[in-house]
Structure 1
Amino acid sequence: MFSTSVGAAAYPTLLPTPEQAATLRAVNAAACQVSRQAHVLRSFRNYDLRKHTYTQIKDGYGLAAQAAQHVIKKVAYAYATLHANIRAGNLGKAGSARRVRAESTPIAFRPDAAQPFDDRCLSWQIDARTVSIWSVAGRLKNLRFTASAEQLKTLSAYRKGESDLLYRDGMWFLIATCDLPDRPVRVPDGFMGVDLGIVNIATTSDGIRRSGKALNAVRHRHRELRRRLQAKGTKSAKRLLKQRRRKEARFAADTNHVIARQIVTEAERTGQGIALEDLQGIRDRVRLRKPQRVTLHSWSFHQLGAFIGYKAARAGVAVIHVDPAFTSQQCSSCGHVDRKNRLDQACFSCTSCGFAEHADVNAARNIAARGETGWAVSHAA
């Protein structure tokens, strides 16, 4: 299978062979070896690791020269990501158990973890729907894959750079990077504000609300099923848990794709830009009761925002992120801010001018107004 990144996604299925499994096991065993040496030597740069480990893993694991280079590069990137997370505080404060464990343990790679291939290791024959790919058993030629007509068109026109061989849930994928050019951003005729929430996943300033009731019901059902299966603890329960993993995530992603496409299509039709709240760090800022925390931490608002962003870039629709402070307490009619304006989750009534509206629609209108102001400031002549 392959998927694309950098602005596109498609999923043709790569038909499996035993050599693919042996190849992933070999390169990831080699990656674990490189990781252990990097941890001992405290040497994490690609060039430095190559001096210490290239010959060892090339000869010891039967890797081709280019494959060995990619193994070392994969380890260097993994440590770069780890160190960036440590610096950002994502693994806790200095001395915390989680951070100490991360710093004191070499990074490990699963036997079926993804492995990058460049054009020296992998070639595509789009018309024949086959690939030629390096493996530990030699070059595999005429290896078939399946794809839709649209996916083949995207792959043929925009594929660029490396592809990753990936095994997931019994299927094989080649995740190919495709670089799609963005359309020039049109000067927006006003902005559509989008308020992201839990009860209503997305509410726009024109009054359209996308309810999160169905998605939250699915998540609650999955959560209860996981709890019962984990409590049962039998082999059949563990097998069922494994079969159902990522099912909820796929459902949420599909829901977010649909909502993002509707919002971008409407903005493109009306010539508007899209204003979104900058919700980075919301999980750390918000204080909620435990049942509400479970819902918040399973809420894929970042994914929905990212989907809106890349779909808007393809359509040439302007996107701006605004400060979310007090958007739910501010009156979109007179600008008065008061906690008492928000009567409950759904109702907004201004204590100053008497303006009443659905609370999420009112917040979306505030976001739209801030989007217009922010655009005017950032694009002033």
Structure 2
Amino acid sequence: MKLVVRVKLLPTPLQASVLEATLTACNEAATWAAQVAFDKGVRKNLPLRRLTYQEIKSRWGLGAQAAQHVIKRTCDAYTTLAANVRNGRYGRPGSKRHTRVSGKPVVFRPRAAQPYDDRMLSWQHGRRTVSIWTTGGRMKNVAFTGQAEQLEVLARYRQGESDLLFEGGQWYLIATCEIPEAEPNGHPVSFIGVDLGIVNIAATSGGARYSGRRINRRRAKDRTLRGKLQKKGTKSAKRRAKKYAGREARRNKDINHKIAKRIVVEAARTGRGIALETLTGIRERARLRKPQRTTLHSWPFAQLGVFIGYKAQRAGVPVVYVDPAYTSQECSQCHHVERGNRPSQAVFACRSCGFVEHADHNSSHKGPSRNYWCVSGQSSVVVACMT
């Protein structure tokens, strides 16, 4: 399986200026190639290369490999844009946002990440330095650092491309590593159902609840502060707003990592698999009042699902995805479905059999009468049917 390791570069001021000039040149070339692709209606790598390759090399002084990566990045950006438009991320066709996004070429930020392959970048793990291609020539002895565990993984399993990234005033390399998977558990004794929510970020069928009340209060304060800064509109206010937005994203990511790790460790320890909700279209399915919409749309539910998926894959824990429809209204004991089974947000009380439980715990059982569960992220196929 593929994982990424993020290492921090420690360039000298002169090295940093050369890296910045390299990123700027690559992204200017990518923006120009995106304009050509938009004007000519070309979205494939080979046709776009015929139109732009020589111009990129001569105009921005990029090497052959760098020029090809720039063109591939442009094609990938249009592929991602088309998928997002198709999936409704930018609203419905004809809406203002949809028209604005689909009606203009892709633009790359001056310091957007640039991919490097092994012909452009080499690692000296013993000295903890890298030799990296730049527009000013090959630059050697650029120091890097990171956590000991990550550096060990990097030295043993690095394979494929690495991305040069400038973020928050620091330089990073995002390296791809091919990690061997654990032997998958093809016969789990049962499955831990995981219900995702807002009041409780996650609740499992084993009785664990990961409350979101504290983090939701913190997020509400952050939103209020960002609103004040955005309303002020000065340059310093915008810098502070951007800083707080990044801090919130890192906090959310850390919480999702911790929740995912605890769920996977529990499943591996008890020999069980994990049943997750299918999150596709969660924002369109949810019907919330206006004050609740921001909370739903800003929490990275998909990120938590991805973290659980890859951690489970490393541990050999099977993961299945189930349809979440009506799980909040269905009794986990008799499977009676009725809206009145939820007298309040936290309480589930079945009107048919009288079963009473916390609503999130009831939902985490994932409707065991449903027999159509599909497996994702496993090297071998596991068919899971609960009766």
**TM-score, scaled relative to structure 1:** 0.93
Report matched runs for 1:159-174 at 5 Å: 159-174=158-173
**Residue of structure 2 in register with 1:18 after alignment:** 17
Per the alignment, residue 64 of structure 1 pairs with 63
- Aligned equivalents of 2:366, 2:64: Cα separation in 1: 57
Answer yes or no: is 1:103 the counterpart of 2:102: yes
Query: In structure 1, what is the Cα distance between the partners aligned to 2:294 and 2:90?
Result: 20
CA distance in structure 2 between the aligned counterparts of 1:262 and 1:19, rounded to whole angstroms: 43
Aligned to 1:150: 149
3-state SS of paired residue (1:314): helix
Matches within 5 A, 1:1-381: 7-16=2-11, 17-186=16-185, 187-367=187-367, 369=368, 374=373, 378=383
Instruction: Give the AA of the match of 2:351.
Output: T
Q: Is the 8 A contact 1:322 1:370 kept in 2?
A: no
User: 1:375 offset after TM fit, Å?
Assistant: 7.4
Matched residues, percent identical?
55
The answer on whether the counterparts of 1:164 and 1:176 sit within 8 Å (CA) in structure 2 is yes
> Matches of 2:104 and 2:59 in 1, distance apart?
23
Deviation by residue 1:109-157 (Cα, 9 ceiling, x = unmatched): 1110111111111011111110000001110001100122211111111
Is 1:320–1:371's contact at 8 Å kept on the other side of the alignment? Answer: no
Change (3 A) 1:86 1:243: closer
Task: Tell me how far apart the structure 1 counterparts of residues 112 and 369 of structure 2 sit (CA, whole Å).
Answer: 44
- Structure 2: state its 5+ residue gaps: 376-381
Question: Helix, strand or coil: the match of 1:36?
Answer: helix
- Worse overlay, 234-243 or 41-50: 234-243
Give the SS at the match of 2:365.
helix
CA shift in 2, pair 1:271/1:52, >3 Å: same
CA distance 1:370–1:19, shift in 2 (3 Å): farther
Residues 234 and 302 from structure 1, CA distance in 2 versus in 1: closer, same or farther, beyond 3 angstroms?
same
8 Å CA contact retained: 1:321, 1:371: no
* Superposed CA RMSD: 1.9
CA distance in 1, matches of 2:370, 2:4: 29
- 1:246 aligned counterpart, secondary structure: helix
TM-superposition CA deviations, 1:240-275 (whole Å, max 9, x none): 223223111110110011011000000111111111
Offset at residue 308 of structure 1 (A): 0.6
Instruction: Report the Cα offset of residue 85 of structure 1.
Output: 2.8
- Which AA in structure 2 matches 1:267? A
Deviation at 1:206, TM superposition (A): 1.4
For residues 56-108 of structure 1, the C-alpha deviation after alignment (integer angstroms, 9 at most, x for no partner) is: 11011111111111111111111222223333343344433333323331211
Q: Is the 8 A contact 1:190 1:372 kept in 2?
A: no
AA at the equivalent of 2:85: I
- Residue 338 of structure 1 deviates from its aligned partner by 1.7
Deviation at 1:343, TM superposition (A): 1.3
What is aligned with 1:3? none
Native 8 Å contact 1:164 1:174 kept in 2? yes
Q: Which runs of 4+ in 1 moved over 6 A?
A: none
Structure 1 pair 361–75 and aligned structure 2 pair: CA distance change class (3 A): same
| Whole-angstrom distance in 2 between the partners of 1:301 and 1:30 | 35
Supply the distance in 1 between the matched residues of 2:25 and 2:374 (Cα, whole angstroms).
52
TM-score w.r.t. the length of structure 2 is 0.92
Give the direction of change, closer, same or farther, for the CA distance of 1:160–1:265 in structure 2 (3 Å limit).
same
SS of corresponding position for 1:238:
helix
CA contact (8 A) 1:58 1:64 kept: yes
Structure 1 residue 329: deviation in Å? 1.4
The match for 2:379 is none
CA pair 370-64 structure 1, distance change in 2 beyond 3 A: farther
Structure 1 gaps of 5+ residues are 1-5
1:280-339 CA-to-partner distances (Å, cap 9, x unmatched) read 101111221100111111122111111111100000001101111221112222222221
Aligned residues of 2:120 and 2:132 also touching (Cα < 8 A):
yes
1:223 and 1:313 map into 2 onto residues whose CA distance is 35
SS in 2 for 1:30: helix
- Residue-by-residue CA offset, 1:134-191 (whole Å, 9 max, x unaligned): 0011100011001222111111111111111111110111111111122232121011
